[in-house]
Structures are given as structure tokens and as C-alpha cells.
Amino acid sequence: MPLLHISMRAGKPEAYRQAILDGVYRAMREALNVPEDDAFMAITEHAAANFRCGNAYGVTRSEDAVLIQITVFASRTPEQKKALYWRIADLLGENPGIRPEDVFINVLDAPAENWSVGHGLTQFA
């Protein structure tokens, strides 16, 4: 039950944005065993003045940097997360052509009681 938020600079075409959503979803299905149709994803686009990515940690980022934040159940292993990071960077490199240096990923673990997927219920607690 991942919840995906992607932030990027505004101005890319729809096909570019859809390729990002498709690639990250595919990587989550492969690395985290996310079920089919478990897709809760949003892209937020920012004007250049409202979006900044530094070059910290020995990574030189470009204007095409994307910030990917994925909230998941607190049940994923470090190995699954490492596979996810690699697969996202790989797939986004293939399509829409984002350099691996420009793929910034943060995974947040949330306990089951922190989720309500509808009807005001805590379905997983």
C-alpha cells in the first residue's frame, strides 16, 4: 500500500510525467511486491524559483532532478528498499531518460494503524 509523492520542476510534457509514474509503479511492483492496481501516486510540479536540489553527498544534480517520496507499511526489508532504489533509477533512465544522479528517493515506514484507505476505517490495524 505505498503512497507516492513526486516533486519536480514544471514544464515536462505529459508523456514524460506518465513515464515517471509508470516506472516507479513498476519498480514498486517488482521490488516490494505491490499488488496490481495498488497505485496511489501524485506528481507536483514546481516553478524553478520554488524547486531546489543541491549537489550534496557527492552527487551533481541537474534541472531534471526528481524527488520521490514513498510511504509504505513498516514491513519492508533493507534489501527490498535497496532493490527498489536501483530499479527506480534504472527504469527512469530507460524512460523518460532521467540520469541516475537526478533520482532522489526517500522511503518512509509507517505502521499499519497509520493508514485509512477509505470509509474512515483503519483497514490494516
For strands 41-46 and 3-9, give the pairing.
Answer: parallel
Q: Which grid coordinates are listed for 60?
A: 551533481
Q: Which grid coordinates are listed for 112?
A: 499499519
Q: Which grid coordinates are listed for 114?
A: 497509520
Q: Which grid coordinates are listed for 8?
A: 519536480
Model pTM score? 0.93
Give yes or no for residue 1 having a pLDDT over 80. Answer: no
Q: Which of 12, 4, 27 has its CA nearest to residue 96?
A: 12
What's the pLDDT tens digit per position in 86-120?
Answer: 999 999 999 999 999 999 999 999 988 888 888 89
Q: Which of 96, 101, 122 has its CA nearest to residue 111?
A: 122
Taking the domains of the chain in order of start, what are their residue ranges?
A: 3-49+62-114
Mean pLDDT computed over 21-26: 98
Task: Work out the mean pLDDT of the chain and round it to a whole number.
Answer: 95
- Can you name the CATH fold of 3-49+62-114? Macrophage Migration Inhibitory Factor (3.30.429)
Give yes or no for residue 59 having a pLDDT over 80. Answer: yes
